[in-house]
Amino acid sequence: MRITANITSDNSLYNIQQGRAKLDKISELISSGKNVNRPSDDPINTRLLLDIGDKVKTTDQYTSNISKASTWQQIANTALTAMSDTLQLAKQQIATISNGSSDATIRQNAVSQLKALKQQMVDMGNTQMGDQYVFGGAMNTTAPFSGTASGTPPTYYSGDETALKVEIANSTTQQMNIPGNQLLTADTAVTQPYGTTNILKAFDDLITAVNANNVPGIQAGSQAIEAGSKQINNAQSDVASRVTRLDSMTKLNENNSNTLNNIYSNTQDVDYAKLAVELTQQQTAFNASLSATAKISQLSLLDYM
Amino acid sequence: MGLSTAMEIGKNGLNIYRVASEVTSENIANVNTPGYSRQRVILESAPPTTANGFPMGTGVRISTVERYYDALLQKQLVNAQTTQGYDTTKSTVLQQIEPTFNEVGNDGLGAAITNFFGAWQDLTLNPAGSAERQAVLSRAQILTDNFHSVSTALNDSISIQNESLVPLTNDINATLNNIAQLNGQIKTTELVSGNANEARDQRDQLVRDLSQQIGITYTENSDGTTDIKYADGGAALVTGATAGSFSLDKITDPTKFAVKMTDTSGVPMTPAPTTGQLGATVALRDTIIPGYLTQVNALASTIATQVNTQHLLGSDQTGSIPPPGGPPTTVAFFTGATAATISLSAGITGTDKIAASGSATLLGDNSNALALAQLQGQKVMSGNTATFGSYFNSLVSKVGLDVQSAKNTETQDIAFTKQLTTLRESNSGVSLDEELTNLVKYQRSYQASAKLITTATEMMDTVIAMIR
């Protein structure tokens, strides 16, 4: 083939351009630290990276949901423990007058103690997380419990029985709340997972019985408080099992997240050692090509004529 | 045959080697001219005469000045240029669109969709919370903004392609006219004398330029002219010294130019350009970019429909109880069914209009918010086979694939054209070494011819001296 100076210079330019393009690519990879900087770099892996990115975001959302739901459970648990303690105090108080007393002062004392304990139960029932009453069901913007029964039929509870659910994994939900009526006024609840005792009514009945020195009434009240105590304990174990489930879901999500992040970083993070070697190779080649071009393009017959 | 013949041969030599040096200087001067083909003087011995009883030459003469030209290479170059013109245009435009879909950082439309449904998830935890409600509205706003920006980018790109047809067809028309004009010049010149080498070079270069813009087929005629036909439909673009022309009209669709043409016999036509830059521009404008836009629109429309349907099933915080069997009082969440028009509906006047609850009386209920949040994981796109996220991700991947393959074909085309150009350069390109060598050669021959005349003169002087 006949070679002219123009062919040589065109070829040199083309090859220098190729060398520059390779150096530019390596420089982009090193400085960005990413293998895929735009979809066309690797369309198939782009798809993978995007899917993983979406999944990580969703998993993060579930983790955030779980963490908020856990806070809710902790607050509910604190209230339930306090309720359980309160009922314990009530039982001790009842034990002192389980056979009644002819002394009106003693009875009066017991009644005021019981009234205070009942008010504590109502206050616990009105526990709030942020603006939300945790035992209010879906009507959780106003206090669900009051100390006196009102309405027809008379009830202490003005909330409702809706189960509030949050998503903790894809299409998996967890009930977050305990509707207050299932807890403190279970006799009127539609579903009765913990028991059937109306604890607040038991207090009121007990107070009436103590006032009237009605021994069978006091003993019936004592049994009702005992049953109520079990009911609260049942609710506590329900909350505990929810916490266990949320914890295990958190771990599962963390594992998922770790695995996904590993895949992401295996695909997306550059191998610096490999790139450094490539860079050195390309540099050597590019230097050689520049040097050769500079030397060869100076050769001309004109210099010798 | 006498001394005067020797002087005559010497004079011829002087003339001819002067001409040969001129051709060499023309070659040297045009060493960097695009499309120039090197020329050479073809020398032959002048017809012999019979003198002194035997035939004898009468010196040298120029048979012709010809150029180095390979018709097959020209044909291959023309075809390669057409493919390269198409692929380069496509690749350039697609690379401009790609950033619109650059989701690799997870922060574009795809992220906006995920965040929008994430905001509904947050709302399920505190359905009455005004901060959570505000977050839903902000995320919805960001989502619609992202849709608008993608739609604007694609639509802008479409109208840029449309407008670029104007300079492109003007350019094609100018080239066609120039070719026709050169055809005329070549024909006239060659009728009078020899080869119109420079005009042919210019015309061949124009034909190669033209073939980047549109696909062509051409025929080289014996009278030196080249006839050109359009590869898409075979209409005559140049016949001899007459050129056809392209035009654009907006009669059928005011937003889009229709490509029209008139062939060399004045017949109006409506071609369907598929080749060269013109074909690529039309394909980008009518098929490729609108294809992406359709998919983005489908995404926007389905999100709007699905969110609205579920939203209408819920209750907002305004406390209005829907009449039994009557229309729901909850308002739609989005209006608009395309990426360009989707926006928060006018009815969403505040955070209290968000229907998080499943019941008008239960303000703390989260069932509708939960149902809306769960839409994210539901396969409602592409005939219920893809979620919103995966649908968009495949679109991004598709754009990436298109850009990648366009870039690859462009690189291949460039390499192929380069190979052909090198071959052409090898055949037709000027080599300075060669020209300099020729120059020395012609200079020596010129000196020798001069010497011949001097010698003949001296001989003549000898003869005249004899007479004295």
Q: What pLDDT was estimated at residue B291?
A: 95
A230 touching chain B per CB within 8 A: no
A1 touching chain B per CB within 8 A: yes
Q: Among A232-246, B199-213, B328-342, B417-431, whose mean pLDDT is lowest?
A: B328-342
Q: What pLDDT was estimated at residue A300?
A: 86
- Distance (Å, whole) CA A115 – CA A224: 16
Is the pLDDT confidence value at B450 over 90? yes
A157-194 pLDDT per residue, tens: 988 888 888 999 888 899 999 999 898 988 888 888 89
Sort out which chain B residues have CB atoms less than 8 A from A176's CB and list them. Answer: 125
> Looking at this predicted complex, what is its ipTM?
0.83
B122-131 pLDDT per residue, tens: 999 888 888 8
B106 touching chain A per CB within 8 A: yes
Q: What pLDDT was estimated at residue A187?
A: 86
Termini Cα distance of chain A:
26
B33 touching chain A per CB within 8 A: no
A223 touching chain B per CB within 8 A: no
- Residue of A50, A58, A170 lying closest to B396 (CB–CB): A50
Termini Cα distance of chain B:
23
Is the pLDDT confidence value at A60 over 50? yes
Tell me if B11 sits within 8 A of B453, measured CB to CB.
yes
Q: What pLDDT was estimated at residue B52?
A: 76
Measured between CA atoms, the residue of chain B closest to residue A14 is B418
Is the pLDDT confidence value at A302 over 90? no
Distances (CA, A) of B290 to B147, B284, B285, B296, B299: 15, 8, 7, 10, 14
Mean pLDDT on A22-40:
93
Is the pLDDT confidence value at B6 over 70? yes
Mean pLDDT on B101-105:
78
Q: What pLDDT was estimated at residue A297?
A: 86
Q: What pLDDT was estimated at residue B187?
A: 94
Homologous superfamily of the A53-262 domain (CATH): f41 fragment of flagellin, N-terminal domain (1.20.1330.10)
| 3-state class (DSSP) for residue A276 | helix
Q: What pLDDT was estimated at residue A97?
A: 85
- Distance (Å, whole) CA B216 – CA B200: 18
Helix (H) or strand (E) holding B51: strand B49-51
Q: What pLDDT was estimated at residue B321?
A: 54
Q: If contacts are CB pairs under 8 Å, which of residues 123-162 in chain A contact chain B? A: 130-132, 136-141, 160, 162
Residue B106: pLDDT band by 50, 70, 90 thresholds? low
Residue B348: pLDDT band by 50, 70, 90 thresholds? confident
Q: If contacts are CB pairs under 8 Å, which of residues 65-84 in chain A contact chain B? A: 65, 68-69, 72
Domain ranges of chain B: 3-68+433-467, 74-99+154-285+401-421
Sort out which chain A residues have CB atoms less than 8 A from B394's CB and list them. Answer: 47
Q: What pLDDT was estimated at residue B363?
A: 75
Tell me if B123 sits within 8 A of B366, measured CB to CB.
yes
Q: Is the pTM of this model over 0.90?
A: no
Tell me if B184 sits within 8 A of B240, measured CB to CB.
yes
Using a pLDDT cut of 90, give the percent of chain B over it: 69
- Residue of A4, A41, A65 lying closest to B121 (CB–CB): A65
Q: What pLDDT was estimated at residue B112?
A: 92
* Closest Cα in chain B, distance from residue A255 (Å): 20
Distances (CA, A) of A150 to A60, A157, A163: 45, 9, 24
Sort out which chain B residues have CB atoms less than 8 A from A173's CB and list them. Answer: 370
A190 touching chain B per CB within 8 A: no
Is the pLDDT confidence value at B326 over 50? no
B367-394 pLDDT per residue, tens: 889 999 999 988 999 888 999 999 999 9
- Distance (Å, whole) CA B418 – CA B426: 12
Domain ranges of chain A: 53-262
- Distance (Å, whole) CA B225 – CA B264: 15
